[in-house]
Amino acid sequence: KNQVEQSPQSLIILEGKNCTLQCNYTVSPFSNLRWYKQDTGRGPVSLTIMTFSENTKSNGRYTATLDADTKQSSLHITASQLSDSASYICVVSAKGSGYALNFGKGTSLLVTP
């Protein structure tokens, strides 16, 4: 069964600190992995998309890594800001016919002053 597990479920950090969110998946055959940021009361916004051949992708202070061998991804946030407070959702796509998006339940991040 295709599954996406995210950890931690929630995280509180001080403004200016770095943090790393984890995503482990069992989706096969793998197509791509996406990280989304969802602010409270808003829809998710895409941060990165990585395919099998990519192991690092950055978007400003956000850096995603992918290890397709161990089926793990991480999202590293550098020099956190209050506006980083949000839910971060990992989404893994499988190849093949039909709908193939598998969603993690998200990590809720709170950045405090």
Three-state DSSP class for residue 92: strand
Which member of 12, 14, 45, 110 binds other proteins (CB under 8 A)?
Answer: 45
Contact between 104 and other proteins per CB under 8 A: yes
Least distance in Å: CB of 45 to other proteins?
7
Residue 12 tokens read as: 């509180």
Contact between 94 and other proteins per CB under 8 A: yes
Residue 18 tokens read as: 């770095």
Which member of 77, 106, 107, 109 binds other proteins (CB under 8 A)?
Answer: 106
Contact between 93 and other proteins per CB under 8 A: yes
State the Cα–Cα distance between residues 58 and 87, nearest whole angstrom.
18
Which member of 7, 10, 82, 105 binds other proteins (CB under 8 A)?
Answer: 105
DSSP per residue over 65-108, as a string? EEETTTTEEEEEE-S--GGG-EEEEEEEEE-SSS--EEE---EE
Residues comprising the chain, all counted: 113
Contact between 32 and other proteins per CB under 8 A: yes
Contacts with other proteins, residue ranges (CB under 8 A): 31-32, 34, 36, 41-46, 49, 51, 89, 93-96, 98-101, 103-106
